[in-house]
Structure 1
Amino acid sequence: MATVLVVDHERRIRKWIRDSLGKCGYDVEETADGQTALETASRRHFDLILLDDALPKMDGWQVLTKLKEDSQMQKIPVVVLTSFPSVETEAAGMRLGAAHVLAKPCRTEALETTVRVAIREAERDGAPIPAREVEAEEVDAPSGPKVASAAPEFIKTGGKLAALERALRGGLPTGSLTLVEGVSGAGKSVLCQYLFYGSILDGLGAAYFSNQYTAGSLAKQMQSVGLNVLDHIREDHLCVYPLRERSADDDPDSLLAQLASEIQGLPQEYRFIIVDGITNLAQVSQDRAVMGFFSSCQQQCDEGRTIVLVGRTSAFDQNLLVRLHGMCNAHISLVMETITGRILTTLEVTKVKNFEPNSDNRFSFQVEADVGINIVPVSRIKA
């Protein structure tokens, strides 16, 4: 039976968590303040700590720092509970060594899933999540990303996916607008994560817009395929921004314009930007709105940023896709096909800035759990 320590100043929250996790078979102990929590955790083994960030006297961030500084307690995974979720709060939690940051109140299913995943991750990793040595004030005012003084010529993959670098004739040219399009399940997101990883290794500040990942879950996903970015999140080298979901009352054209404004409003330190993805907005927007969004992104690239836009092929009609292809500096197409009895994704670079496609502009792969992109050699007979 897994043991969980709940540290929250609100009695109703403690009771809700205790009742919810108790029904799932967890042994739950609770306390209302940070000092008692530290004393309790030092006396008894816990598989997880749920920690309120707004505790009286010693707040949750101070408690988290002390936990990660203690050799006996630093291995305990900590999920920070916050009533004011934000990108900055999540980044602060990751810097200090939190496994996850969870908004409260939330659905019981979200609580149970987060607890289960955090414990499983700790068991799998078998190692503490260390905290960066920071002063408590840094939590309230996260520092900006530390970036390279000059942008590299190409964004690569940190040596993790040489086939993509070859297909791009060295890497993704900086200052370029790239469209990555393909069918659902082709591996578009994973592919972009390799480029994201490479940009961070080169010291570029990077921003990732997603309707699927938070900073914590993106770091965990990338770590599972050998792309460790956790330390860079703690040091503000990268940030994950939520993509707003369209509601029935929203004008999709205006949402694309808002997204363009968000990208334009990012701190200048964030030079590499991935938008994963634009499918939900593009497929219900007018062509002129989609082209206006791409045009805005191209202007940002002219000013030195590198932007990758990700979408399903079905989001664009063929005529629009041809026009977007012309607006982009690079275009990567992913197609799923059955080859020698296996379902593979074939990646083809159909366009890359200042280069003509060469014989190495395509390769086939599978995405494997805990491995990532696995290149599959395929013999093709050219017509």
Structure 2
Amino acid sequence: MTYRIRVRLAAGALASVALATGAMAQDWEPGGPINIIVPWGAGGSTDQVTRVTAPIIAEALGVNVVIVNQPGASGSIGTQEVLNAPRDGMTWTANAIKNNATYSVSGLIDDTSIDDWHIYLSVANAPMVSVPANSEFEDFGALLEAFRERGEDITVATAGVTSSGGTAISSLATAGDFDFRMITYDGGAPAATATAAGEAMVTTQLAVEQIELARGGRLRPLAILSDQPLVVEGMDPVPAITDWLDMPLAPDYFGIFIPRGVPDEVIETMDYVWENHVATSDALRDYAEGFGAVLAPSWGELARERSIPIAIADACGKASRGEAVIDPIELGFDCDTMTEVSAQ
């Protein structure tokens, strides 16, 4: 499926700002530590990349950046905490952007959308289908046949219905025409670990949450939700899901998000920091290469453009599965054309 994107510039949205000198990055000097609320458990995909980028930001700004894990309700509890915080630039969140864009669709947060956030993307991730090392399933074809024959007898570990793993198995079930039974955990890392321990038969969490377990021989990867194989040092290539199923795919972007309404100098400074420190970071590059992520730093309107296809796919997928509390069109997503439209 090809996604056609029509970009709507949010009122007051800032385009990417390339500041001319390092001194201009000091227009905003935080008066204390910055708190980044990660609305998922420690060790998961969001937590991992945030712990790589936070020290880069801290060094650039000369302040402490504190990561607070606040899991619950598929990330909506921690996200709501940030929306409720004073708009002084001192409280941010981190997540997959599709979640922040679609929490209203699933009814987890009222009256919120992608345009509540200044978006700073760092990497793109893909879900991976894996089974315990001693599983009966040697490849995805055998697992797919079992799903179709045994349905809800096959248990799938995820971080919740709106998590990357949750939406991945729902999308796979739609494309593959099968049923399943989901077991949920507080984060992607616990879901992957539980699968390796035999608590579930399958996990569909992100590759970055499974790589160490796969390298260690505790998980057997069967497919990556991409049209290209996943190649990571220390393990065999993971076949693309398109070897078995024809299904819509869109990059799942992760990053740090600052609520709109903060002072302009906060965003101008962070644009500079993202361009000149985060996007050029060897630490972020090494993380992406070592854990099976795609290095994809962007900010401002480019970040928003990149986020729209996965937001549309996620919102419309929820609607097609009967999981939507409100129609995606109310957030400006037209599922008939898979485009963005002006909000109703």
- Shorter-chain TM-score above 0.5: no
Q: Which has the higher strand share?
A: 1
- TM-score, length-normalised on structure 2? 0.23
Higher relative contact order (CA 8 A, sep 6+): 2
State the structure with more CA Rg.
Answer: 1
